Amino acid sequence: MAHDAAAVSAELDSGKSLKSFVKDWSQDRQSFEVPWGKAMMWIFLLSDTFIFSCFLISYMKVRISTTVPWPIPSEVFALSFGGDPIPLILIAIMTFVLITSSGTMALAVNYGYRRDKRKTVLLMAATALLGATFVGMQAFEWTKLIVDEGVRPWSNPMGAAQFGSAFFMITGFHGLHVSAGVIYLVVVATRVGTGYYDRHRGGNYEMVEIAGLYWHFVDLVWVFIFAFFYLW
């Protein structure tokens, strides 16, 4: 009998908990202490993760299954400065620039929460400049492959034809993200500098952190592209 009574009591408690849960979620109020802007950015980044994952998985499948020799990245992306070609030198510099921008962005977020507008704006401007530098070097890389090497999305004189389509799709999609991120950073930095968030958000610089989430994601994706596409 005692066992049955305990089971009934547990079932009633469970029913009350369920009703309380439904009541909380059915009210027009925030369920978690997470700002909506940050939550929406995380959802966007999650969807973007799936897209980049599909690209990289497809690339690996094509790379493994092709019967035509795949170009050697260390030779394709080598640059010569008057002497012997240096393998992946441009890619290494691009990676260094993007990782450095991640550090300046982290500092910008830190100073944003300290409400130090001057340092926040300067660091975000430095991050945007580094991002623009990355895009510029990527444009140089594309120009070299298209003009000098004759690589196209549908053909490749150095080996497997899929190399061009995979390269332009993956690096182009990432470059588009970096370009959008540069514009995003400039807009947020301008609003910080003009006092927009002080007037309209009570001095809350949360948007700096949200922009930082996006930028760190872009940097992290490049690490995977660098590892899978250029080092493999």
Q: Which of the four pLDDT bands, split at 50, 70 and 90, describes residue 82?
A: confident
Q: What's the CA angle centered on 59, arms 56 and 61, to 5 degrees?
A: 115
Q: How many CA atoms lie within 13 A of 101 on its CB side?
A: 33
Instruction: Collapse the DSSP code of 90 into the 3-class scheme (helix H, G, I; strand E, B; otherwise coil) and give the result.
Output: helix
Instruction: Collapse the DSSP code of 153 into the 3-class scheme (helix H, G, I; strand E, B; otherwise coil) and give the result.
Output: coil
C-alpha separations of 16 from 2, 23, 89, 210 in Å: 21, 10, 64, 37
The domain locations on the chain are 1-31, 45-230
| DSSP symbol at 16 | H
The CATH number that domain 45-230 falls under is 1.20.120.80
| Token pair 């990245």: residue | 73
Confidence at residue 181, expressed as pLDDT on a 0 to 100 scale: 97
- Report the predicted TM-score, pTM, of the whole model to 2 decimal places: 0.83
Q: Which of the four pLDDT bands, split at 50, 70 and 90, describes residue 84?
A: confident
> What are the beta bridge partners of residue 152?
155
The pLDDT tens digits of the residues spanning 14-52 come to 556 677 656 666 665 555 566 788 889 999 999 999 999
The pLDDT tens digits of the residues spanning 126-135 come to 999 999 999 9
